[in-house]
Structure 1
Amino acid sequence: MRAHEAGALHGDIGNRGPAWLRTPVDVNALVPQLWPRHVARGPAGALTVAGLDVRDLAAEFGTPAYVLDEDDLRARCREFRAAFPDADVYYAGKAFLCRAVVRMIAEEGMFLDVCTGGELATALSAGMEPARIGFHGNNKSVAELTRAVDAGVGRIIVDSFTEIDRLSELARERGVRPRVLVRVTVGVEAHTHEFIATAHEDQKFGFSLAGGAAAAAAFKILDEDVLELRGLHSHIGSQIFDASGFEVSARRVLALQAQIRDARGVELPELDLGGGFGIAYTTQDDPASPHDLAKRLRKIVDGECAAENLAVPHLSVEPGRAVVGPAVFTLYEVGTVKDVDGLRTYVSVDGGMSDNIRTALYDASYSATVANRTSAAEPMLARVVGKHCESGDIVVKDEFLPADVQPGDLVAVPGTGAYCRSMASNYNHVPRPPVVAVRDGQARLIVRRETEDDLLALDVG
């Protein structure tokens, strides 16, 4: 929500709800931290992005559609590069990847992190330099590893002993020595949703630090001397605002680095602290700037290295959501508006959980605004829902919209660049929306809308 995040609002707000629910809100206001930096309201009240009216975008490209402010994304890449001048900044492609975005981040000097063969294929087809690609994943197949080795990717983050054996066999066959990092599960609680916290012990990623598997993996790689062990990797989760988790993680990983030095006489030259940096979905979110993140992380690493008498390793970070998330909004058209016995108003749009599963999957909160006009009507507490046959098909759980919202209105939901199109589905056989990049008053299609013919093309029955 624009004014407050309402995670679980129920019933008539009347005079019985919390005081903030009865506080007047401006349904036409745009909170800058929630929107791409080139979004504004035009003279007629409709949203514009980089000078283009969203009504024109809807007419040309249809709805729903993901709208990317290209200069915003590029600016965020540059901000991370400037904040981490002596580190490698990998764009985490799982947040959203297409060939146009690969080219954008490459032109802005970023590295690229992929985690499947499909993401690797997209990166290579877009011309990404293989040496600037890192390959993640907890269950890389032999075919995926083979392609990565043959392409010459810059590093592979190994995630299991099985993978070490697979990769070592490939290396022997091809007479090469792939660079690897060991992914360490450090047992840190990242203060985020259970499904996107990735460093606690009871989960699928990485080698356990507490159980000794991480050290054993590093020793195995060093002793066999088939792969080139460059360093350690830790990723504690996603949508993280509290730097304390990174501090604990760095302390534990660098302690392992010191253990490896003491046991094998090798001081590993690299350290990857992962990503997961949070963004603002509502005004209750207060993300740190890339500069502040860099300052905190560098202080943490410098301090822990001094404590362990280690040389400061070459750092890597992996922002994905923080680069693409705020640069995109989703544009919908309202189909129906339904008041349910005075309990709640449901505003149904022409998309839903097939283009944004995060609300249903993670109980995520979003904001929304009527995009085709301003309104002088009183604000009403509404729920923006989709068109799918699920009661959990919710896009925005609670938001103040004007009481005169009606069929045909456009609704825009900001902060949808990360994990929306990349996790989109064809549930109920709904074709996935397009991605439209806007820059300098020009719009171009970078991912086209799926059609019913696309759906039927895969149905060979």
Structure 2
Amino acid sequence: MRFLTPSRRAEDGRGQPACREEALSPVSPALPPLDPALPPVDPGLLPLTAEFRPEGLAVGGVLLDEAARRYGTPLFVYDEEHLRRRCREAVAAFGRGNVAYASKAFLCTAMARLATEEGLLLDVASGGELRTALYAGVDPDRIVLHGNNKDEAELRTALTVGLRHIVVDSFDELDRIERLHREEGLPPARVQLRVAPGVAAGAHQAIQTGGHDSKFGFGLADGAAAAAVRRARGSAAVRLEGVHAHVGSQVLDPAELADGAAAVARFAVEHGLRRLTVGGGLGVAYLSGQSAPSFAVWAERVRAAVRGAGWSGEVGVEPGRSIAARAGLTLYRVGTVKRIEGVRTYVSVDGGMSDNLRPALYGARYEAFLPRCPEAPRPGHARLVGKHCESGDVIIDDAALPADLRVGDLLATPVTGAYGYAMASNYNKLPRPAVVFVRNGEARLVVRRETEHDLLRLDVATGDGLGEPVAAQRSHAV
């Protein structure tokens, strides 16, 4: 990450770099001061190629202001070099063939291709994610299918194309696989059994997945996992290859992940299984001052734990957030600044919970800054909100911001590369944002912005146009 010295820029009279002026609306009332004022955005929250230029922040050699002007806002911007480096670091830590990108964090055809180009397998959790991976040209033997309630159509596709593994989650799923093998003559499934080891980790209850009380996997404590091994080994429709577990997400203490890995390793050794996958869950820093373990530290802790449990083979992992989160940021345009005397100030942007559901869903916390002056202190504070008809549409409850923020400003929230676009919705009929990859001074559109026409494509008209999509009728009228 490169930084230009403040001496290259004008100063505001207080020795601080001055924000670049833009042709915006009249200055809004100054934001109320935050005591103590937060310093500029932490470079550790920005993509690896971020650089502070006199004109503002650039990522991948592309000014964020230029990206917003070209592609509009809200906009997801991903540092392609950052994504590739994280993939390589994961492979270096765990070994080629042992790392599957957890595509639920962020998936499009470009991301699927990038991950596989860098030597990763692909972990998908639905028929839609599977179809995206196949459409991107990913070899089926490099795809692993997850899901606690796979339907017959998803399993049929998986068996027909020949995926690397199906991670089986229940006895009902084994029933479906056996029925497809028996009645349709589909080949036996290569299977890993997902188990719930009784170890729950993660920053929020909703993303803790390895406890006894979980919708995922066969329990170790109640004997369901051992029964599943016996059932799979006795089935002509199944080729049992190993065991899988995932204990939770956004874990910042690798010891928690190691505990889960040890429990699953003991089970694998006891039952003579030859493959062991311990899932993902490695957390990232979302706020200044936070730190997250490296892939190397994660690998060291996990290997020590499974060796202590008697496992001598390779260990598979499935990172998602730790690949994509810091690589991406979201750009918004400020639409209103509303100060309620004695209460608070609201800053509203042109996106919200339809492109970042995590604050409303998990209480997730973020920071924000102005790309035109990313190294400016942030003495003002306000509640940063979206444009949805929902009081809970809050991006940052008490955001530290430059005091001169105004209507029309471009505003960025970093570390939104995971579970932002992936969880995006059309709430209030807002089109989902575009996604661009930036690298070597070029921006590449990888997902176009939805249009209002897209929003109408699935609606079916009534009356004379019964059965015809509304959007098609409108095009006929034109």
Give the alignment's TM-score, normalised by structure 2: 0.87
Q: Of 71, 82, 91, which residue of structure 2 is paired with 1:81?
A: 91
Q: Of 138, 149, 152, which residue of structure 1 is paired with 2:159?
A: 149
2:227 corresponds to: 216
The 5 A counterparts of 1:296-311 are 296-305=301-310, 310=311
- Paired with 1:387 and 1:428, the residues of 2 have a C-alpha distance of 9
Q: CA deviation at 1:232?
A: 0.7
Q: CA deviation at 1:376?
A: 6.5
2:17 corresponds to: none
- Residue segments in structure 1 that go unaligned for 5+ positions in a row: 1-11, 15-20, 261-266
2:207 corresponds to: 196
Q: Of 16, 24, 49, which residue of structure 2 is paired with 1:38?
A: 49
The 5 A counterparts of 1:311-326 are 312-326=312-326
Q: CA deviation at 1:13?
A: 9.2
**Could you give the per-residue CA deviations for residues 296-336 of structure 1, whole angstroms, max 9, x where no partner exists?**
1111111111xxxx5x2331100001001110000000001
Q: CA deviation at 1:371?
A: 1.4
1:100 corresponds to: 110
**Could you give the per-residue CA deviations for residues 155-174 of structure 1, whole angstroms, max 9, x where no partner exists?**
00000101011112223443
- Paired with 2:188 and 2:457, the residues of 1 have a C-alpha distance of 42
CA contact (8 A) 1:13 1:22 kept: no
**Could you give the per-residue CA deviations for residues 224-264 of structure 1, whole angstroms, max 9, x where no partner exists?**
2431111111100110112232233223222322432xxxx
- Paired with 1:354 and 1:111, the residues of 2 have a C-alpha distance of 29
The 5 A counterparts of 1:353-372 are 353-372=353-372
- Paired with 1:408 and 1:443, the residues of 2 have a C-alpha distance of 23
The letter for the 2-side match of 1:184 is V
CA contact (8 A) 2:202 2:281 kept: no
1:395 aligned onto 2:395 = yes
- Paired with 1:450 and 1:303, the residues of 2 have a C-alpha distance of 51
**Could you give the per-residue CA deviations for residues 242-299 of structure 1, whole angstroms, max 9, x where no partner exists?**
2232233223222322432xxxxxx211000000110111124311011111111111
CA contact (8 A) 1:30 1:40 kept: no
Q: Which moved more, 1:370-379 or 1:391-400?
A: 370-379
- Paired with 1:331 and 1:269, the residues of 2 have a C-alpha distance of 46
Q: CA deviation at 1:145?
A: 0.3
- Paired with 1:137 and 1:400, the residues of 2 have a C-alpha distance of 39
1:427 corresponds to: 427
1:228 aligned onto 2:233 = no
The letter for the 1-side match of 2:161 is A
Indicate the SS of the match to 1:315.
coil
The letter for the 2-side match of 1:23 is P
CA contact (8 A) 2:105 2:321 kept: yes
1:347 aligned onto 2:336 = no
CA contact (8 A) 2:32 2:403 kept: no
The percent of aligned pairs where both chains have the same amino acid is: 49
**Could you give the per-residue CA deviations for residues 367-398 of structure 1, whole angstroms, max 9, x where no partner exists?**
11011236878711222110001111011222
- Paired with 2:373 and 2:164, the residues of 1 have a C-alpha distance of 49
Q: CA deviation at 1:189?
A: 2.4
2:290 corresponds to: 285
**Could you give the per-residue CA deviations for residues 185-213 of structure 1, whole angstroms, max 9, x where no partner exists?**
11112142111110112221111111111
Q: Of 77, 81, 85, which residue of structure 2 is paired with 1:71?
A: 81
2:470 corresponds to: none
- Paired with 2:262 and 2:376, the residues of 1 have a C-alpha distance of 54
- Paired with 1:71 and 1:54, the residues of 2 have a C-alpha distance of 16
2:36 corresponds to: 23
CA contact (8 A) 1:375 1:402 kept: no
The letter for the 2-side match of 1:99 is T
1:207 aligned onto 2:212 = no
The two structures, once aligned, show a CA RMSD in angstroms of 1.8
Indicate the SS of the match to 1:204.
coil
Q: CA deviation at 1:176?
A: 2.1
1:275 corresponds to: 280
- Paired with 1:314 and 1:269, the residues of 2 have a C-alpha distance of 9
Could you say if the C-alpha distance between residues 70 and 191 of structure 1 is closer, same or farther in structure 2, counting changes exceeding 3 Å? Answer: closer
- Paired with 1:352 and 1:450, the residues of 2 have a C-alpha distance of 16
CA contact (8 A) 2:202 2:249 kept: no
Q: CA deviation at 1:40?
A: 2.2
The letter for the 2-side match of 1:235 is H
- Paired with 2:414 and 2:149, the residues of 1 have a C-alpha distance of 33
Q: Of 44, 52, 67, which residue of structure 2 is paired with 1:57?
A: 67
Task: After the TM superposition, list the runs of 4 or more consecutive aligned residues in structure 1 that deviate by more than 4 angstroms.
Answer: 374-378
Q: Which moved more, 1:427-436 or 1:200-209?
A: 200-209
The letter for the 1-side match of 2:424 is A
Q: Which moved more, 1:222-231 or 1:373-382?
A: 373-382
2:19 corresponds to: none
Give the alignment's TM-score, normalised by structure 1: 0.90
- Paired with 1:215 and 1:278, the residues of 2 have a C-alpha distance of 31
CA contact (8 A) 2:105 2:418 kept: yes
1:264 corresponds to: none
- Paired with 2:133 and 2:202, the residues of 1 have a C-alpha distance of 32
Q: Which moved more, 1:318-327 or 1:197-206?
A: 197-206
**Could you give the per-residue CA deviations for residues 410-430 of structure 1, whole angstroms, max 9, x where no partner exists?**
110011111110110010111
The letter for the 1-side match of 2:208 is A
1:247 aligned onto 2:258 = yes
Could you say if the C-alpha distance between residues 223 and 375 of structure 1 is closer, same or farther in structure 2, counting changes exceeding 3 Å? Answer: closer
2:5 corresponds to: none
1:5 corresponds to: none
CA contact (8 A) 2:196 2:210 kept: yes
